[in-house]
Each structure stands twice: as C-alpha cells, then as structure tokens.
Structure 1
C-alpha cells in the first residue's frame, strides 16, 4: 500500500479560500450563501490575517460582522494553522495541518494570500532589536509591552504612521520617524487623498495628530544600526549630513510585497509582482480567483471589496454597480501608493560590501556582487537556502541586483518528513507543470 493510500480521507471543497484576512473573510461571506460548502484555510491559528492579528473581536466592527456571519454557518469549514505544501493532480493540494498532512480537492479557489514586508539590508540590520516595521506592529498586537522603550521607525510608506501609533499605545517612546520621501512627495500624496480618498486622509491626519510631539525626519534614511549584543543607536542620513540617535528598538520597512508562491505554482499570470485579475477578480487560470494584497498592495478597503466580488463571481453572481465603483476607487488608491512610495534605486547604496544580505546563511553582499543571476549565486553561496527559503533575501536581491528569482518549487514551505514522503508518492499536476 502506498503512502498516498494510507492518508486520511480527502477534504472536498466546492469553494476553497486560501487566507483568512480581510479579503478571505469577505470572499467567504459572499460565497457562503450560494456554495455547497466553503473551506477557509490559513496558516495562523486565528482569522484576521496580519492586519487583524490576534483574531477578530467585537471591537473590530468590519471584521466581526464577517467573522460572526461565517462561524454561524455549518457548511463553512475552517482549517487553521495549516500550510499548502504542493499542487498535485486533479485540482488537489497537499496541506500540512496540525493533525498531519491532508489532501484538499477543490472545485473553485480564491487566493487571498496577502503580502509580506520588504526589508532592505543595511549595516547592523541583523542586530537584536532591529525588526521590520510591520513586524514590530505584529509583536505589539500579540501583546508585546514597549513601556519606556525608545523606538525609531524608518523606511517609507503610510505603514510608518500606523506603527508609530501602535508603539505609543504600547507605551513606547517614538524618538524618530524617518521617512525616505521628501516633503514635496508627501504633499502630493495628501493632495491625492484630498481629491479622491478623504476618509483615508482623515485617518492619516488622525495618526499624525496622535503622534504629538512630532519627530518626523523627511528625505532621510537610517544608514546603520549600531550596538554589540543589541541595537543601541542608529545613524540617520539626510543628504551629506548624518545624526546619531540613541534607541532600544529600530523598526524599518520599505513597503510590502505580495505572497506569490502558490499563484506561481498554479501558473496564474503575474505582472509587476502581483496576480493579474479581471474586473470580476478572475485570474488567468480557470476556476481560480484572487483578491486583496495578492493582486496589488492597496490596504483593507481594497481587500474587502475585492474579496466580496471574487466570492460572488465564484458562485455565479456579479457585483453591483456600486461594488464595481468601490473596486475602481480602491484601485485608484493603489496607484497613488505605488506612485508615491515606489523604491528609489539610490536605496541600493545602503547595502555595503560586508553587509549580510542572506542572514540565514550569513552571505555578505561582496560574495553576491560577482554573480549575474540568482541561480548561480544560490549554487555558489547558498543564498536563499536557509530557513526563510529566500523570502527575505530573494526580494532584496531582486532590488539590489536586478535579478529575477526563480519560480517557486515544491514543497512551497519547509515541511515535515511525513509530508515529504507523501509528496514523493503523489503525481504532480502535469496540466500546470508540464
């Protein structure tokens, strides 16, 4: 008897939703009334994704309305703490769950796989106490107490404001917010919000007001973190001038990048680092939809409306004109974000020759600069072969060296031996992989 024959019964889903963040919850709520059964799969133990971390509670009116609607329906199933390992034949997925490997057979799939933070290497970025901006916010949402701790928040984008507000709520002291963009660029951003996204403008104003006293440094960047066993200060560079600021924590982020591993394995068309979809959120693959940050970074409003449209269309219903207009407005905001906070190639100068680019395998920039592509560098230096499997350094190398990192390979994530044994015994989906 083969390993595949010994596995427990398959889970059959008429609509499989990958990701239980805002987009996934909205998609499930829209699909549930018209689907035979809905399966929501997420790697976290609770619904909510990164933006509603620690689960959804009544204080979050948007999320709670969706969540409470779903948990009351018996034909909506949840598979939490689970990861998709591989795509196999006949619309089936190999999934690693807390109870062991399982196979899911799906009829329709909605990808709401979200995004992860982009962190660019700079001297000292591997010191304890240095995190991603979103990473620090996630720690705070998980209960971290920052009482009395001095925090520098650096990088670019609206997330910096949100993180600063979270630090203050956790009783931390924001000693500086270091924004790479200039005052002129931010003025244009606020003008764009004023003309078409006034609700978001007031959200930004509220976050700014909560930050009093303001400690903004514009047209600036953290060029180094200093310390021995942990970060104790940072060097802030503005043009030719530098300034040292003492701190206990540094949170640094340069925006988000979509999680595309599963979309790549499913052969969905990609463009500019996102899944290509039509007005009904359909991807290039039959019976696969996508919504939220997976189709472009745009925030919670975009995720909610795209998720709803995808859930409706996957079950044979079309969005209303009002919903279509909301989607269009959300995409306008996405374009504004991309235009204002796109990465400047001058940020490559932050990475010095001895700066570690791959912190899992301790590979410095000097060992990578000699190679013309990711594959060669990986073979010669082991870059991207550590625990994160290139999810941090791979995106950084794309930016630093203009490399195209190879397509995702199975297993998608590090997996248990029992899952790998099962994978070896299962046929791949040749319709997708040739």
Structure 2
C-alpha cells in the first residue's frame, strides 16, 4: 500500500469497504493497474473499521491481505475525491481530483468503479445537537476508535438491524444499554425474523443481538440536558417514558452515497441508489457501481456486487455472470430489510419544533426552512446545506421533512485546499468549495 499514485491507471476504485476490496481483488488477476482510494486510515469501510479494541473478522483480514499481496493494486488511504478534473483521453472514464494530507492531483483511469457506500439517515428532534447524541452507526465507530463508554447509560433509537448491532457493540464495551427503541412494529419484526431461515448466517446471528431492552413501535421524542445529554423522552405506542442517560444514539436507516455518481452524470435507480445493470454498469459508459451506493442491503450483497463489478470492468463478463445467483439471494435479503423496516415519515417529520436546527453546520432552524419552497430556495435564503457537510446530513433530512430533492454538485464534491486545485491543473470550477 502506498501514499502516492500514478497520474494514470487502468482501473480506479473509489471506496475500500467490502465492495471496493472485492472489486479490486476480482480485477487483479487481469493484470490491470488498479488504484483504490479511501478516506479512512485503512481499508474496510464502516463495517470493517479498524480501532484499538477491534478484532477484525477473518473475512476482513483475508481481503486486506489479498490487497497487499497484489503488486498491481495500490491502496491510497487517507485520500478523498474533491472534484472533477480534465479528461486526458477521449476513451477514458471521468478524471477525478484527489487530495490527501500533503497534496492534490488529477487521477486518470480507463475504468471507474464507485463503491462509495452509505451513510446514516439522521433526523432532527429537540435536543439532537446536544453533546452525547450521535447516530447509531456513529456510536459504533466511536467505540471502535477507542471511546470509553464503560458504565455509561445509553439509549438507542431509530429503525433497522443497525440498532441491535450498535447495542451489542456498546454492551461489549461495558456500557449499560437501557433501551433499544425500534420504530417498526412487533408484527413487522416477527415477519422479518421468520424469513431469516433463508439466510442461515443471519438467522444464527439474530438471537445473539436480541435483549430485553428492545421495544417495538417506539421512537425518540426529545433529548434533555443543558450542556450534555442528561435524559431522553421516548414514545412507546400511546405512552411516553423518560430515561436518564449519558448517551443517545439514533439512526433511521441508511442513505446511499450517490453524490459523486450524480456529479458524474449517473442516473439514480430504485431506493435512491445509483442505477446499475446486470453487469454493474451505471448509465455512464466506463463507470460501474457496487455496494451500498446502489441501495443498501448488507455487506454480503456488497461483496458480491463488488466482485461482479471488478470482473466486468476487467472484461470478464462470464465471471461476473456466474455470480448472478448469489446476487439474487442477497438482493432478496435487501428487499426484506426495506419491506419490514419502513420509514414512517409522517411520524418522524413531526418531531422537530420551530427552533430545532435542521442544518447543524449553518444553524438553520426548522421554522425557517418550512417557509421555503425547495432545496435551492432554502440554500439561497438560509445557507442550508452550504456548510462543512455540504448538505449530506440536512439534505437527506429535508427529503423526509419537506419532500425536497437536493441537487447534486456540479464540479466540486467537498471543500478543498486552493493548492489542491492549483496542483490538479485545468479549470476545476469557478465556484467556491462551499457553494456546490
């Protein structure tokens, strides 16, 4: 693994989670010169994140070791995509401006695979900006990075299997999980559990995650405290309960990271992910996509899609086609997740008060935003979405709260150093990095 890359490669893979790792390993035998870019310190993505107290599963170690064995794979950790560069050759995929801690450059490639994953859907409620409130997946990441939660009282709320996984991580780290408030109903949970026999590994795992603290048909109402979380109010059916706690972790599902794909001109498909065909090709020639950015469905699905994309990008259509049955199996699991953990937007959209911040970067409140007509109108009049996260958090929330569709960036994906744009050459954008 290196910290520099050639200005040109045969295959550029964005994201080193399960999908990106599988894509690189599948394409490696072809002899293609492959560059894998990821902004984390090491490959693995969110699910295989490294940390002081983390013991990586055998499959994760196997993939990392596989990347290290192949001389034609270069992994650029701590590197991110900041924008579009000038295409060098007519037949190339789009050129991307990359940036790490020391430099920026334009990376050219014949083929491009997007494995940009997904992020948590965070929805605003009174008190959600208090220190001690995080996403459910965010809590997992913090604990893996070394956060000491021993003895802390934690409440986890939202919807989806990630809640139980976060609760399990917190318990193993010594925390006291008081409540897991699952928004979906007991009936939907039971129906989902009954289908797990189709995926034995999932069925075997499920009982280890269940605990008496689980409550269905429940959701967060308010985080209480002055300078730090002190308690939480929950709605459970027709009742409310208040629990004293030190931490609250809320996650309302996952949102595919499609910003880069949309900036490149790729079309969105079902469930707001990038649209791909049976060979993992997007609607833009030379660009493939795999994993959660095509719609979330778990790491197993991401691994299969990544392998298919790698084979397809290497011109190995038969090898990609041979994985179709595996993909169909895990697509069925993804369908079950979406069917049994629906987001009841009408309930969650009623949570914020007029003074509840929706855009945390620019301190824009719900009462101000609901007077605007659409996303562009809100940006022009309130600076919503113009802060450090570039609308990734508030943009997804605005879709649930107001039905708005945030517009994709045109040239720059995230704030970048002036030196990066200068070193990249060409004319990356006339816009500032906070106006995309």
TM range (shorter): over 0.9
Give the Cα separation in 1 of the matches to 2:320 and 2:262: 30
Give the Cα separation in 1 of the matches to 2:278 and 2:415: 35
TM-aligned CA deviation for residue 298 of structure 1: 0.6
TM-aligned CA deviation for residue 173 of structure 1: 0.5
The 1:264/1:168 distance shift into structure 2, 3 A limit, reads same
Give the Cα separation in 2 of the matches to 1:253 and 1:94: 32
Give the Cα separation in 1 of the matches to 2:428 and 2:192: 50
Equivalent residue number for residue 82 of structure 2: 85
Moved more, 240-249 or 223-232: 240-249
Which string of whole-angstrom CA distances, capped at 9 and with x for unpartnered residues, describes residues 23-57 of structure 1?
01101010011033111111111111111111799
Residues paired across the two proteins, number? 416
Equivalent residue number for residue 339 of structure 2: 339
Give the Cα separation in 1 of the matches to 2:165 and 2:300: 16
Give the ranges of 4+ consecutive aligned residues of structure 1 lying more than 3 Å apart after TM superposition. Answer: 55-59, 420-425
Which of 164, 169, 172 is the matching residue for 1:169? 172
> Residues 25-424 of structure 1: matches in 2 within 5 Å?
25-54=21-50, 59-90=56-87, 91-194=94-197, 196-208=198-210, 211=211, 214-271=212-269, 272-317=271-316, 318-319=318-319, 323-345=323-345, 346-422=347-423
Instruction: Give the TM-score, by structure 2 length.
Output: 0.92
Which string of whole-angstrom CA distances, capped at 9 and with x for unpartnered residues, describes residues 394-421 of structure 1?
1000110000111223210111121234
Give the Cα separation in 2 of the matches to 1:255 and 1:179: 11
The 1:61/1:39 distance shift into structure 2, 3 A limit, reads same
Any conservation in 1 of the 2:85–2:106 contact (CA below 8 Å)? no
Give the Cα separation in 1 of the matches to 2:51 and 2:232: 34
* RMSD value, Cα: 1.8
TM-aligned CA deviation for residue 427 of structure 1: 6.0
Any conservation in 1 of the 2:32–2:314 contact (CA below 8 Å)? no
Give the Cα separation in 1 of the matches to 2:237 and 2:56: 44
The 1:174/1:310 distance shift into structure 2, 3 A limit, reads same
Any conservation in 2 of the 1:270–1:276 contact (CA below 8 Å)? yes
Q: Structure 2 unaligned runs (5+)?
A: 88-93, 430-436
Give the Cα separation in 2 of the matches to 1:69 and 1:386: 38
